[in-house]
Structure 1
């Protein structure tokens, strides 16, 4: 009985491979029968792309890279979608008011935003995310699922791009895009709360540092004077033990002083980061550069390659549909 089960299982696997092989053979013969039409589609696609590239006005592209110091990503992506929506609806007047456009907004082709992320950055984010989970939850998550499900706007570094038919100074537009996020009342309130908390922590650490320095000076003075027990009681500090313990205590005080200073430095750095809700870290080609590409299934391709794949795909799918209709007609119950 077990042998029959294994035989049926292997026969099932073999039938699947056989079907795949037959489909591959059918596809080869299909392409062979339609080779002339498919080659013609490729030639037409190349010619179409070449003519459009030569006759169409150039499209200029300019980009900036930004660092998000707050969770502004969802709002930022929503704003870019809103601007593109205004372009689709031809609400050029509203777009000009929102972004402070000096030139004609009709010349803008579109806005784009994408995360700046490397595989190493993704691994660091994954490790940080896993560190915040308990062992049971962490055991159910792997890196592939995490990388697949994380939203693009979650990444701290983003690149914003503008495409336009005219070469213009895009800095003003980028400034307004960032400014519209930085004036959002929610993020402004969060910034005020964070800066207030950080300044309070910094003040507390400075006070602790002053007390630590004072305690160190007192301790050093006691050790240097080699005071007697009577003098020690007058100062109010009693030291017992051998010299090794005294050295250990002195080192602990010194180490605590270094830790306090480092924490103050870290807070100063964090305050500088929090002073800007979004930091513009680089601006590329202020006046834009010629961008003769179009997106095909998420891949930027030159005009000739784009129209080659586009026309070839349409013709190929049309031939497949025609072949399928012939198959249905052949096996129709009426015949």
Structure 2
């Protein structure tokens, strides 16, 4: 008889599931409604902005024309600025020291030009005409990626999994890059070449770097000497072995004799071939060391220079882009006018609620 009785718990579970699905449906419905309202407001804001610009297009155009005229006037009346640049290669970790030197020179321009004249070894009028020094790395995005992959090879496998490219760029400094571009800006055409060479000589005469250079050159020359001696022994052994092969062939009635000492990958090699390969390897290593010695002879060196007497710098930077003064002032005045008109419009909008406060 008890089997015919209803089961209330099962009905309760079915009701709970229905409410749960309804709740989930309401959540998704509210979410998509919220997203739709955002896009709707963005569209309305875009439409309002279009009509706002259309309403004030004449004023904005006048501001742009005035900016162009202002740029032309300033370009004609302002004193010209000359600049010259060099690209340097750092064979040692001189970057931080080089950046500090440039900052020091910029401070001397503001504080004491006489000391700057003495440090750079230039005339007073040349030192007074210098406006500023700039330095920045010359490196492309592809080169940064190559540096990142090269750095990953030096790390443990467990660390490579947690280090990404953005973290690498964040932790790397501009002065870490090997190639740097130094720029001088001045009010007159100076002999920039003298100044650049003075900057480089100051770094090359640094006591610490000179000591590191002496230790590196001493070590590299010792390696080159050892390899050179190894080449002499290798040539001697090769000559002796060749004589042994010839003598053995003569003793066996001109039959060919071959002594096998290794068998790797189903390829056999003779002692003569092994000595020959070793000789090539040593010579290749010697060439690399000699190239490194040539690099280490200069702590920092100039790889290229641009216009020793300087060229006119008539460009202005806007949002990281170098543009002409006419376009620069046209954009600045147009943007300023747009912001002022937008501000007036916001004030008018707020005045509607003044009486409700």
Q: TM-score range by the shorter chain?
A: 0.7 to 0.9
Give how far 1:155 is off: 2.0
Aligned to 1:226, the other structure's residue is in SS state helix
Aligned to 2:115: 94
Distance 1:187 1:76 in 2: 12
Provide structure 2 residue ranges, at least 5 long, that are not aligned to the other structure. 1-20, 251-256, 262-268
The answer on whether the counterparts of 2:87 and 2:181 sit within 8 Å (CA) in structure 1 is: yes
Aligned to 1:186: 208
Distance 2:155 2:355 in 1: 60
* Counterpart among 273, 291, 299 of residue 251 in structure 1: 273
Distance 1:40 1:149 in 2: 47
Aligned to 2:304: 282
* Counterpart among 33, 37, 60 of residue 38 in structure 1: 60
Distance 1:24 1:179 in 2: 58
Distance 1:136 1:25 in 2: 53
Aligned to 2:270, the other structure's residue is in SS state helix
Q: Would the alpha carbon gap of residues 227 and 32 (structure 1) be closer, same or farther in structure 2, given more than 3 Å must change? A: closer
Give how far 1:274 is off: 0.6
For residues 33-92 of structure 1, the C-alpha deviation after alignment (integer angstroms, 9 at most, x for no partner) is 3333322221121111000001112211111111111122222222222222332x2421
Give how far 1:22 is off: 2.6
Provide structure 1 residue ranges, at least 5 long, that are not aligned to the other structure. 229-241
Aligned to 1:311: 333
Q: Please say if 1:19 is aligned against 2:47.
A: no
Q: Please say if 1:116 is aligned against 2:135.
A: no
- 1:129-144 correspondence to structure 2 within 5 Å: 129-143=151-165
Query: For this pair of structures, how many residues does the alignment match?
Result: 322
Q: Would the alpha carbon gap of residues 68 and 333 (structure 1) be closer, same or farther in structure 2, given more than 3 Å must change? A: farther
Aligned to 2:266: none
Give how far 1:332 is off: 4.9
Identify the range of structure 1 (57-66 vs 216-225) with the bigger mean alpha-carbon deviation: 216-225
Aligned to 1:238: none
Relative to the length of structure 2, the TM-score reads: 0.81
Q: Would the alpha carbon gap of residues 325 and 269 (structure 1) be closer, same or farther in structure 2, given more than 3 Å must change? A: same
Q: Please say if 1:29 is aligned against 2:51.
A: yes
The answer on whether the counterparts of 2:126 and 2:190 sit within 8 Å (CA) in structure 1 is: no
Identify the range of structure 1 (297-306 vs 129-138) with the bigger mean alpha-carbon deviation: 129-138
Distance 2:352 2:108 in 1: 50
CA RMSD of the aligned region, Å? 2.6
Q: Would the alpha carbon gap of residues 249 and 285 (structure 1) be closer, same or farther in structure 2, given more than 3 Å must change? A: same
Identify the range of structure 1 (195-204 vs 256-265) with the bigger mean alpha-carbon deviation: 195-204
Identify the range of structure 1 (124-133 vs 59-68) with the bigger mean alpha-carbon deviation: 124-133
Distance 1:27 1:136 in 2: 52
Q: Would the alpha carbon gap of residues 31 and 194 (structure 1) be closer, same or farther in structure 2, given more than 3 Å must change? A: same
* Counterpart among 194, 198, 216 of residue 176 in structure 1: 198
Q: Would the alpha carbon gap of residues 184 and 331 (structure 1) be closer, same or farther in structure 2, given more than 3 Å must change? A: farther
Give how far 1:176 is off: 1.0
Aligned to 1:106: 128
For residues 291-311 of structure 1, the C-alpha deviation after alignment (integer angstroms, 9 at most, x for no partner) is 211222332221111212222
Give how far 1:255 is off: 0.6
Distance 1:287 1:295 in 2: 23
Q: Please say if 1:55 is aligned against 2:77.
A: yes
